[in-house]
Amino acid sequence: MKKKMHHLLAIVLVIIMALSVVETAVPATVQAKPKTTAVNKTITLTTSKTVGTKYTIKSVKSSNSSILSAKKVSSKKFKVTSKYKYGSAAITVKFKNGKTTKYKYDVGKYSLKKGKGTTVSTKDTIKSVKSNQTKIASVKKISSRRFKVTAKKAGAAKITVTFKNRKKAIYYFKVTGSSGSGNNNNNNSNNNNNNNSNNNNNDNNTNSEKISLSKTSLTMNEGDTTTLTVSIPPLYDDQAFVFWESSNTSVATVSSSLTDLKEMKKGTIKAVGGGTATITAVCMLHTEDILISCTIKVNESKKSASVYGFTITAYSNKSTFKVKECHSRNTDGTNTYDVDFFCNGSEYWINNNVTFEVEDVTPKAYAKMYLDMGIKYQAPSLKKESSASALREWNAKEGQVNWSPIKIQEPFTNAGPGQDKIRATAGKRLVIDTGMSTRALKVVAKQGDKVLDYVYLTSNSRNKNDSSSYSKYDLDLYRAVLNKVEEALWKPGMTNSEKLTALNNYINSTNHYPGCDLTLKEYNATFWENWSVDDTYIMKTDSILDNTMMFQGGICDCWAAQVLMKIAMEDLGIPKIKDMTENGEGVWLGMGSNSSNPTAPTHVTMFYKDSEGTCYGFDVNGMTYNHSEKEVTCEVHQCREKLIPLK
């Protein structure tokens, strides 16, 4: 018997949705075992197959519709469709004349010998391929619709193929320990399949009844661990491979050895979240693969949290509140902000105790500019997403290179940033969709009336899906505002030097130098009311938006000379030159000792030389009044009265 067993092992089957059809017709009331004959055809995991019959169909039924569905499409045709899952299914077709035919499908089964490889073709265009056990079976995409799997050592591996149409296919590979003559595809081995079909089917009946799982249902508490064990008949036990799967890894995970034949029959189950999951053991025998399962019910943890907070990445040791600068700009001009909230309790505690509030705190001056430019307001919309799965997936990688635990960032106080030493056990990702004009949000986490933590979310004009580029909508808005200002300031017959002087004077008489007293709440309440975020801080991290607001009485320093030089080059057609020594008209920047303030190493001045060789210096830095000067307030220096209206 063992010789026969090893002979069967030598025939390595590589099956891709292999279709075998039972042609023997029997009365519907007779429970006879039909004869199986192989058909030299294959269908991929992405394909449906229409099958023609000799007799008029009465009904079509699949033994496992989660793997393979079947439906009657005409009087003598039925259609089977794969469901991107591994397993076996029998399609029973009953005819109106009382006869029955059974069709057997094996979905996603592969077997390879160590050192060998196989190439698999797909119907859909492949985006990526991935092996969950690269030391057992590696995978490589070799064309838009083909990938190659190479067997490395004995064990089992799962190959996940993601297609460009967002579909996924799962392929399971069993690798035997000894190298051999290569892969034998059962679709090209009709004689062997035909001759052995009856024996194999008889064995299947016997073995599937004897193979069992230590438990078929189980109730666990979140955080608990237990072991399930597969029992296999001794005849097949020495060469049987077992591969474990969870239907819902956010509820229960399963792990086992992939190389030790004895240990792989034991699946370690960990309850990770409330809910129900099915743990399946795929038993890969000589003659067939048998699936047995256990239903796991996990009672959700209700542990309370004592540590919690929103997560940001950029801050200083002097920060007293949290600000997250986001790449928020969508391709349609709207914004999507996101932030994570973590705690050391359970998700149940978050769901039942924590509420999240979102407020648009875009400064009034920004909101007015958007309104004047005809941009409609869209209120923020909050979505809460569980971080449980992401946390568990990350924690499962513990010990790998570059891994570190996700820790809770406690609330900031007037004493500075909070601690970040406690490991997160639960969390929520908050996603807020807003319109184009919302450039600052305040997100608050509360338990009842108690504020647990809060964070400010701001935009930086970067595209959400391409942070290396600025939003087209922000660049277009900047240009539209600048055009209105130029139309108001530049009169017919003005020289280039006069136009640059007019624009420079407008900026310097309406803008405020950052850090000076005229930007502080205690000395200039009007400015603070219109330009601060939530009466807390001045927002100046969005370069494109900052440049736009520079034409509406905003905040600028000497580096605004770069903006003026760009305007000179783009709108006046003045070339950039090195310095005065070059011939002809041109503009250039001078810094430090080459600027109008040689004692300030970072001061920047823009210089313009006209066609006659006359040089002009432009310092673009806004007003710098301090509290001892009466001009420190907006009411006295009248910046708002000097603004060019946008509507």
Residue pLDDT, tens place only, 252-270: 989 998 778 888 899 999 9
Q: How confident is the model at residue 83 (pLDDT cuts 50, 70, 90)?
A: low
Lowest mean pLDDT among 131-135, 488-492, 555-559: 131-135
Where do we find the tokens 């743990």? Answer: 279
Q: Is 267:228 a contact under the CB 8 Å cutoff? A: yes
| 167 burial level (CB within 10 Å; 0-12, 13-18, 19+) | middle
Q: Which amino acid appears at position 218 of this protein?
A: L
pLDDT tops 60 at residue 26:
no
Q: Is the pLDDT of residue 239 over 80?
A: no
pLDDT number for residue 139: 93
pLDDT at 186 over 60: no
Res 590 pLDDT > 60:
yes
Alpha carbons 523 and 438: distance in angstroms, whole number: 28
Whole-angstrom distance, CA of residue 357 vs CA of residue 443: 6
What's the 3-state SS for 190-232? HHHHHHHHHHHHHHHHHHHHHCEECCCEEEEECCCEEEEEEEC
Pairwise pLDDT comparison (552 vs 120), residue with the higher score: 552
pLDDT for res 111: 64
Which of 147-151, 215-219, 568-572 is least confident?
Answer: 147-151
**Of 112 and 487, more confident:** 487
The Cα 14–Cα 110 span in angstroms is 5
Tens of pLDDT, residues 532-587:
999 999 988 788 999 999 999 999 999 999 999 999 999 999 999 999 889 999 99
Owner of token pair 């710098």: 624
Q: So what CATH class is 17-107?
A: mainly beta
> 308: which 2 tokens?
């919690």
Q: Is the pLDDT of residue 237 over 70?
A: no
Please check whether residue 598 is in contact with residue 493, taking contact to mean a CB–CB distance below 8 angstroms: no
Q: How confident is the model at residue 87 (pLDDT cuts 50, 70, 90)?
A: low
Q: Is 378 left (phi over 0), alpha (psi -120 to 50) or beta?
A: beta
Buried b (16+ CB within 10 A) or exposed e, 530-566: bbbbbeeebbbebbbbbbbbbbbbbbbbbebbebbbe
As assigned by CATH, the class of the 211-299 domain is mainly beta
The Cα–Cα gap between 232 and 280 comes to 15
Tell me the pLDDT band of 194, cut-offs 50, 70 and 90.
very low
Rounded average pLDDT over 140-169: 84
Residue spans per domain, the chain: 17-107, 211-299, 308-468, 483-637
**Confidence grade of residue 390 (pLDDT, cut at 50, 70, 90):** confident
Amino acid occupying residue 559: W
563: nearest Cα among 591, 589, 542? 589
Q: Are 101 and 35 in contact (CB under 8 A)?
A: no
pLDDT band at 7 (very low <50, low <70, confident <90, very high): very low
620: part of which helix (H) or strand (E)?
A: none
CA angle 182, 184, 187 (to 5 degrees): 155
d(CA 220, CA 299): 6
pLDDT at 234 over 80: no
Four-residue CA torsion sign, 489, 494, 498, 499: positive
Do the Cβ atoms of 102 and 91 come closer than 8 Å? yes
77-86, 199-208, 280-289: segment of lowest average pLDDT: 199-208
Give the tokens for residue 18. 């292999």
Q: What is the dihedral of CA 509, 510, 512, 518, to 10 degrees?
A: 90
Amino acid (1-letter code) at residue 617: G
More confident: 522 or 388: 522
In sequence order, what are the residues at sequence separation of 6 or more whose Cβ sits closer than 8 angstroms to the Cβ of residue 513? 519, 555, 556, 557, 621, 622, 623, 624
Q: What confidence tier does 156 reach under pLDDT thresholds 50, 70, 90?
A: confident
For residues 123-137, give the mean pLDDT: 87
pLDDT at res. 180: 42
> Chain-wide mean pLDDT for the chain?
83
Please state, for a pLDDT cut of 70, what percent of the chain lies above it: 83
Structure tokens at 446: 């509360």
Share of the chain above pLDDT 90, in %: 56
Q: Quote the pLDDT of residue 209.
A: 53
In the predicted model, is pLDDT for residue 129 greater than 70? yes
For 365-375, write each residue's pLDDT tens digit.
Answer: 999 999 999 99
Taking the alpha carbons at both ends of the chain, their separation in whole angstroms is 92
Q: What is the tens place of the pLDDT at every residue in 278-327?
A: 999 888 765 566 888 999 999 988 999 999 999 999 999 999 999 999 99
- How far apart, in whole angstroms, are the C-alpha atoms of residue 109 and residue 16? 6
Structure confidence at residue 364 (pLDDT): 97
pLDDT at 39 over 50: no
- What confidence category does residue 222 fall into, taking pLDDT thresholds of 50, 70 and 90? confident
642, pLDDT greater than 70: yes
Domains 17-107 and 211-299 share a fold: yes
The average pLDDT across 210-224 equals: 90
